[in-house]
Amino acid sequence: MRTLSVDLGDRSYPIYIGSGVRQQKALFTKAIHGNQVMIVTNETVADIYLASLVALLTEDYQVDTCVLPDGEVYKTLDTYATIMTSLLQAKHNRTTTIIALGGGVVGDMAGFAAATYQRGVPFIQVPTTLLSQVDSSVGGKTGVNHPLGKNMIGAFYQPQAVIIDTDTLSSLPPRELSAGMAEVIKYGLICDADFFSWLEEEMQDLMLLDTDKITEAIYRSCLAKANVVAQDEKEGGIRAILNLGHTFGHAIEAELGYGKWLHGEAVAAGCMLAVDLSWRMGNLSEQDVSRSVALFEAAKLPVMPPLEMSLESFVERMALDKKVLDGSLRLVLLSALGAAIVTSDFPVADFEACILDALEASKQAS
């Protein structure tokens, strides 16, 4: 097992990474407050992992469960209300602990429920997808989607612990594994050129879930995010670099309908738009662009936006992004491979050209 900490003073918490850690009872008992536990999961994950977690905790706690439908399309206020109803019907008090067992959708909604139930109760993240293990379970962003924008309703609320069992990756469909790898690659692009090079060398083994290498990739991804979050918990500054590709990607998700493209797929295409714009601005070489394309493709991820998009739909959707400040669109771009910046200072002509050229490439490829 590998362990690291998100350093936030009295709200610091550990991240445990390793094979079988979800069956280490001591990791849970350190983080559970009171004698009540509500496990929030979805139908897919429940069939595989819920019974064993219930059995692990039942002897010492009142354990109740809330099983949600599976999919990004259910990341809504209505589903959030389902969690609240489960807590109230089971008479959970303000010392209950919510455990999020599942991917990013479950983690975000269970975390938002924890942030707001009786004005805040403890919660534990047990992420079961690669994307949630390296990104959404760490850092305390919680929330739900709105038809007009992704994650527009939520709260910053830190977990008591993040318990990452690499064994759960073996049950992931290949498409979900690829989607998670988009966020892994993102860390190399924004803050760690050496990690990017390591991923180029090891991607084949990572996609085959080599135990040591996937553990290393998760550890280095979580370490990168923990370091950024420790500097800027609520995204007032440097934390925004974690959103490389996300402004473009969220536009894709909102336009197509949540769930048609997986979050990581949209982020991959969004990262390539950001890489292309960074190249047009003179920050990257053609080789940097080619290496980025090759790495995303090695992870079986899209590198071009969907045909359903247009320049107008990108502009309209991106105008609703949370990073818009005083009417100005801010983008996460690269100043070099392995170094990111957040800026509103980019040529509009280059911005439009990178989208139009990518859309044309999608048409040619189809």
Could you please report the per-residue DSSP string of 71-117? SGGG-SHHHHHHHHHHHHHTT--TT-EEEEEESHHHHHHHHHHHHHG
225 is catalytic: yes
- Mean of the pLDDT values across residues 288-317? 97
- Decide if 43 is catalytic: no
What is the mean pLDDT of the segment spanning 64-79? 96
Q: Grade residue 235 by pLDDT with cuts at 50, 70 and 90.
A: confident
226 and 359 housed in the same domain: yes
- Residues 167 and 200 grouped into a single domain: no
Residue 33 lies in a domain: yes
Percent of the chain past pLDDT 70, that is, above it, reads 98
Structure tokens at 11: 């709200």
Asked if 235 is an active-site residue, the reply is yes
24 found inside a domain: yes
Same domain, 208 and 301: yes
**Are 221 and 99 in a shared domain?**
no
Report angle CA 292, 298, 300 to the nearest 5 degrees: 110
Rounded Cα distance, 42 and 82, in Å: 12
What digits encode the pLDDT tens for the residues 31-54?
999 999 999 999 999 999 999 999
Residues 97 and 236 both lie in one domain? no
Q: How far is the CA of 279 from the CAs of 223, 282, 300, 341, 360, in angstroms?
A: 28, 5, 23, 14, 18
**What is the average per-residue pLDDT within 76-94?**
98
Q: Is residue 309 included in any domain, yes or no? A: yes
- Which of 108, 137, 171 corresponds to the end of one domain? 171
Whether 78 shows a pLDDT value over 90: the answer reads yes
pLDDT of residue 322: 64
Has residue 185 been placed in a domain? no
pTM, two decimals, is 0.94
- The residue from 22, 75, 92, 141 that is catalytic is 141
Q: What is the CATH number of the domain that holds 301?
A: 1.20.1090.10
pLDDT, residue 190, reads 98
**Residues 151 and 205 both lie in one domain:** no
User: 121 with 243, same domain?
Assistant: no
Q: Looking at the structure, do residues 166 and 241 belong to the same domain, yes or no?
A: no
Catalytic residue among 59, 119, 312, 363: 119
* pLDDT in the model for residue 133: 98
Identified catalytic residue from 263, 280, 317, 323: 263
Cα 60 to the center of its chain, rounded Å: 32
Mean pLDDT of the chain: 96
- Span 51-66, pLDDT tens digits: 999 999 999 999 999 9
- Quick one: pLDDT at residue 229? 96
**Choosing from 75, 250, 280, 323, which is the catalytic residue?**
250
Say what the pLDDT of residue 63 is.
98
Portion of the chain with pLDDT greater than 90, in percent: 93
Instruction: Considering the candidates 22, 186, 213, 225, report the single residue annotated as catalytic.
Output: 225
| pLDDT at residue 325, as a whole number | 63
Please check whether residue 97 lies inside any domain of the structure.
Answer: yes
Q: For residue 290, give Cα distances in angstroms to 73, 203, 242, 287.
A: 34, 16, 22, 5
Going across the sheet that includes 97-102, the strands are 2-6, 13-18, 161-165, 123-127, 97-102, 36-42, 62-68
348-360 residue pLDDT tens? 999 999 999 999 9
273 pLDDT above the threshold of 80? yes
What's the number of domains the chain is made of? 2
**CB atoms < 10 A from the CB of 303, how many?**
21
User: Is 246 among the domain residues?
Assistant: yes
Catalytic residue among 246, 280, 323, 330: 246
Exactly one of 42, 150, 151, 183 is catalytic; which is it? 183
Judged by average pLDDT, the poorest of 59-68, 74-83, 255-264 is 255-264
pLDDT on residue 127: 98
What domain range is 327 assigned to? Answer: 194-365
Q: Would you call 263 a catalytic residue per the annotation?
A: yes
Specify whether 167 is located in the same domain as 207.
no
Give the model's pLDDT for residue 62.
98
Radius of gyration for the chain, computed over Cα atoms and rounded to the nearest angstrom: 20
Q: Is residue 187 part of a domain?
A: no
Say if residue 240 is in the same domain as residue 306.
Answer: yes
Q: Does some domain include residue 177? A: no
Q: Give me the catalytic one of 243, 253, 317, 330.
A: 243
Q: Provide the pLDDT for residue 148.
A: 84
Among 110, 137, 171, residue at a domain's last position? 171
Among residues 72, 176, 233, 235, which one is catalytic? 235
CATH of residue 111: 3.40.50.1970
Name the active-site residue from 92, 150, 239, 317: 239
> 267: which 2 tokens?
């982020």
pLDDT-derived band at 183, boundaries 50, 70, 90: very high
Please give the pLDDT value at position 34. 95
Within this chain, do residues 164 and 301 fall inside the same structural domain, yes or no?
no
Tokens of residue 82, six digits: 């389902």
Secondary structure class of 261 (helix, strand, coil): coil
Q: Residue 217 CA to chain centroid, in angstroms?
A: 15
Residue 33: active-site member: no
Same domain, 224 and 167: no
Residue 77 is predicted with a pLDDT of 97
